[in-house]
Structures are given as C-alpha cells and as structure tokens.
Structure 1
Amino acid sequence: MGFYGDLQDLPLQDILYVLSSHGKSGRLTLSIPTDEITLVFHRGRVASVTTSDESLRIGQLLIDQGYITEEHVEQALALQAVEDGRTRLGDMLVELGFVNHQQIWKAVAAQFEASLFRILIQPGGTFVFTPEEVEIDEAFMEEIRIEPIVLNAMRMADEWLATHAKQDTVSLTDVPFVPAILDRLERPELDVLLAILNGASNMYDLAAKTGRSQEELDEVLDRLITLGLIERAQHPGAVPAT
C-alpha cells in the first residue's frame, strides 16, 4: 500500500526509517521547489537515486570523482538508448568495463547523501511512495547502508542551518567579466555561478540548488569572490559562518 503527504508533517528521516525497517520495495518520489528526487527501494535498501538536477546524476558524479570521462558516459548512454533504457546507466558502465561495482556504490552513496541534504535544508516539500517490485543485483545492494548516509546528511544539514541565515546574500558584481574566465572555473564553481544566474540570492538557495555542503560553498564562494565574479554580504542578524 502506498502513501503520500507533506514533509513538514512526516520528516524525511522517519519515512526512510519506515521503508528500511519494514523492508519495503518501491519508489519514493520527493518533490521540493528546486528539484524532484526519486529513491528506488529494494527490500528496504536504496537501489538507485534519480534527480532532475544534472549535477547530481550518476554519470556526472562518476566524472567528478575521476572514475570516467564524458566520452565514457556518452558511449554508455548510446548503448542504453539502443536497449530502450532497460539497463541503468551505472550497470551499463560496469558492463562496458569503465567502472566497477564499488565505484558505482560510492557515486550512488554521494548522490543519495547530497539529495538528502538538499531536502533537509528545505522548508517544505511533498513525498509519494508507490510499492513496486524491483529487480536489482543483490551483491551490489549489500554495499549500501542507509543509516550512516542519513545520519551524515542530517549532520551536514544541521551544521548548515546553524551557521547560515537567509540574510547572508550573494550576487553578481557590476564589473563586466571576460567570458574566457569561465574556462578557468571548475565544476563546483560553474554550478554555483549558474545557480546565481538562475536566481539564487542567498546561501539557503545555493545549497538547495547545488546540493553542496557548507564547507564546499564557502570555498567556492571565496574563489569566485577572488576572481571578482560575485560579492557576498551578511545583513544584520545573520549568523556568521564558522
């Protein structure tokens, strides 16, 4: 039997505990203003994570972690299309010999944690769980443990909420910049800059749109400020970052 509701009424960590402890299989779709995330469960374990944010997709995370290249992802996607999408991208990459199961697990764990963090710092959102039988590699699933990932995501969210306030604003500078400077930026810097261009105006919005932790955002913003691309200001009453 499925269920649905508001994340303000039933916290995400409680939903995950119920699904995990009762060994449920199915799809949990979490909707927040900036993203839609789907967790596929197989007998109480997370089998896969999908998100509408390209920066958190499994292929991009594997690239960011240095396991594969964009060409590897393109090749796997091409073969996946031939099979009408029946094989998941991670499984296709393993079949092609580009990565192993442990590397896929690390990427899925990072994807899961970043998605949870993004939801936990949001003021609202909805959830829908639909029961469904899921076929998955049991040996692969043995590697994934929900509890430590959830606890770490909650710790990161608590730290972020305790040290940042919505009054802590970010904006582009008025000084024109040379387009070539974009070639000097790394992926996290491009993600943050794109989020600001798309309307993010404070640390809360940036964390929600990018899924980056407090430490990552502080480092990225410092680099962008040094390059003269953005400026950051704390209004009275904001809690300073530590």
Structure 2
Amino acid sequence: MAVSGNLRSMPFADLMQWIAMSQKGGTLVIKGRRFTKKILFRQGLVEAVTSNNPREHLGYYLVGWGYLSEEELTRMLSLQQTQKVALGELLVQSGRMTRDEVDRIIRIKTEVTVYDLMLWEEGEFFLLDEDAPRREFQGLGLAVDHFLFEGARQADETRRIRELIADPSHIPSVVQAVDEASLSPQQLALLWELNGEQSIEAIALRCRVPVFEVLSFVYHGMRAGVFALKPPTDKITRIPGTTGASWKELIREAENSFTLGDLYEAYRQLCTVRDRFATVPDAVAQANALERKLEVEIAKTSLGSEVIVELALSLQEIGYLNCAPEEGFVLSRINGLYTLPQILPQLPGPKLKNQLIIHNLMQRGILKIQESRALGKRETTGPFRRH
C-alpha cells in the first residue's frame, strides 16, 4: 500500500517519527512549492538526503567554503561521471580534502536540508518503498531524533528571526561596542566579518558555518542593540557551485533520482538535458543511456502487462492534489475498465513517458492496479473496444 499525503494533515516531524518507529526503508519524496527533497531511509535511519535547491547541493559548500573553484568542481563532476564514485569519496581519494572535512560538509548539508523541512507547512509526500537504492554507497545511518530535536529548536528560532531579518541577503554591521570576552571562538570569528559590506549568507560561507548560525548571532545582536541591518544590494550574486556545472550537474541529479526510485523525475530531468544541450553530443548520449536504463526498470514492473488501472482516491481528494497538466490528462482517462495496453495508445507523447507518469501516480497512492479480467466479459464498445 502506498504511503502518501500532505504535510498539511501530517506534519513533517510526525511523518519522520512514524517512519522511524515503523523502521521503514525506502525514499521519502517531499514536493514543495519551489523545491523537491528526498530522504533515503534504511530500517528507519536516515542514510542520505538530496534536494534540487542549489543551496543544498554539495557543490554549494565545496565552492562557497573555498575548497574548490567553480572550474575545479566542473572537472571533479566530469571525473565522477567516468569513475562512478561519490563526489566526496573522489575528493578524499584525490587528496583535495580529508575524510573529516568531507564528513563534516555532508553532515551539515544533510542537517540543513532536513531542518528546513520543519518549516514546511504544506507539501505532497510519498514513500517509494524499496528495499535498497539502485546504487551502493556509504550511508549516514543517523537516527531521526538527531534531526527532530535540533530541527524543532531551529524552526522555532527561525520564525522569530524572520520578524527582524527577512532573508540572509541582508547586510549586518556593528553599531555599538561588543563584549568580546563573552563570545565563543565561532562568535568572535563571525563578529570580525560584520563589516557592513557582506551579506549574512556571504559571512556564513566565509566562516564555513550554516547560515542559521549567522542569522541567530545577528538576530540576538540586533535585539541587544549592538548590530544593525542594511537592505541587500542590487548586485546580482551568483550561487556558489552553479557556474559551469551545466548538463553534468543535471545528469547527476537525474541519476540520483533514478538511484532513489523516483523514475519519472529522472525522466523529466534527462528531457531537460536533451532540450537545453541538444548540440552537445556527450550530454545527449548520457541522457539517452539513462533513458535506456529507465526502459529496463519500467519493464520490470507490471505496467507492460494486461492489468487494469483505477483511481485509489476520490475525485474530491484528487482535486486537492498538485498535479501537472500531463498527470491530470492521464487521470482523466482512467476509469477502471480498460487495461494499460488499451489506454497507453490513447495518450499523447512517448509511451515511456506515460508509463512513468502512471508509475509515479501509483507511487503517490493516486492510482492502483487491479487484477485484469477477461475482456470478453466486458463491454467491447467505445474508444478502447477490442478488435
């Protein structure tokens, strides 16, 4: 049975606790208004986290914290594609970073991604219930409680911070003397960067700490009257880790989606690569290779056999879902009477795409499959009549 719903009715903390107590495995996909995040579980433990928010990518920290340049990140991503090794592992093997440095960045990246979900008041979620991802890697093995207690604290403080500081692009400065003896070494380092020229995000990157740490420090300083805030500059600031990544980063995201079982998202991402980089032979070749892997995976399911698909939710419940136009069209053709081989030819677009849409709708608990019954016992008139 598909596990799915919306954070409006099941808050993220409750959802995480349920997965932990049930010792569930699989990939939890949460689709918000702007971003989609995925959390891989094994026996209720958090093993890995991915996000399509560029500020939650590993490259953001590697470049923003000064470990790699944009060009070096691009070369490392290319090397990763050929060697099929995790980027962090590649950095350790090449001597660019120590194991402790990589582990710290991955842990902070993971925590930041999950803590942000504590602030989400709505978002569709579904659990891709699979025993193991399609690629082996060394997981984190973190207990859910590791995230919930600190995440709840940060969420509460973030809501208070937002009353004074709208976002990290604002520029803090010191307006009164600060008792430096009362500050920790990290707070002292942050204080020395408050020069009235750098944004909160820039200070966090320079000091190699999560943005929340700087936001909290500045907020309490403003409450004490020793810090002030200026509005952001008009200058466009590029997000670290995004320059030059181009199609290689998109392919990497598509492969991550494939690995974690979100096949339709992988297909959408590879189509983006083919559309944007149609004149780049390597990009098209890798997108085509991933498409062939998707065809193999979908062939392993029941979507190519004589099965009948029907709605698993009421029409009223479906009306509350955030469905793409192509998903809505597919749903409009599902009536529980016809088999998939009869339905697929009536849908526009490639067969694989429509199979993946139906597969995704099943993963989300919107559709379900019933055992096929002999068509001879059914109505044989209409657009899907048997010839």
What range describes the TM-score normalised by the shorter chain of this pair?
0.5 to 0.7
How far off is 1:36 after superposition? 1.0
How far off is 1:64 after superposition? 3.5
Distance 2:92 2:2 in 1: 32
Pair 121,87 (structure 1): closer, same or farther in 2 beyond 3 Å: same
The one of the two structures with greater contact order (alpha-carbon pairs below 8 A, sep at least 6) is 1
**Residue deviations 1:116-156, cap 9 Å, x none?**
33222233112111022135455x635x4442233212111
How far off is 1:227 after superposition? 7.5
Distance 2:71 2:45 in 1: 31
Identity of aligned residues (%): 19
Distance 2:70 2:216 in 1: 25
Computing the radius of gyration from Cα coordinates, the structure with the larger value is: 2
How far off is 1:187 after superposition? 8.4
Distance 1:72 1:94 in 2: 14
How far off is 1:65 after superposition? 4.0
Q: Does 1:188 align with 2:201?
A: yes
Pair 59,214 (structure 1): closer, same or farther in 2 beyond 3 Å: closer
Q: Which structure dedicates a bigger proportion of its chain to strand?
A: 1
Aligned length, in residue pairs = 195
Instruction: Tell whether the 8 Å contact from 1:113 to 1:150 is kept in structure 2 after alignment.
Output: no
2:201 counterpart letter in structure 1: P
Gaps of 5+ in 2: 170-196, 205-209, 236-387
Q: 2:129 aligns with which of 131, 139, 142?
A: 131
- 2:212 match: 213
How far off is 1:212 after superposition? 4.2
Q: 1:225 aligns with which of 212, 221, 230?
A: 230
Gaps of 5+ in 1: 173-183, 192-210, 231-242
Pair 163,188 (structure 1): closer, same or farther in 2 beyond 3 Å: closer
Distance 1:91 1:41 in 2: 21
Pair 102,18 (structure 1): closer, same or farther in 2 beyond 3 Å: farther
Instruction: Tell whether the 8 Å contact from 2:28 to 2:39 is kept in structure 1 after alignment.
Output: yes
- 1:141 match: 140
Distance 1:154 1:60 in 2: 24
Pair 169,39 (structure 1): closer, same or farther in 2 beyond 3 Å: closer
Describe how 1:157-196 pairs up with structure 2 within 5 A.
157-165=155-163, 185=198, 188-189=201-202
Secondary structure of the residue aligned to 1:213 is helix
Q: Greater shift after overlay, 4-13 or 220-229?
A: 220-229
- 2:115 match: 117
CA RMSD, 1 decimal: 3.9
Secondary structure of the residue aligned to 2:97 is coil
How far off is 1:215 after superposition? 4.5
- 1:18 match: 18
Distance 1:102 1:129 in 2: 32
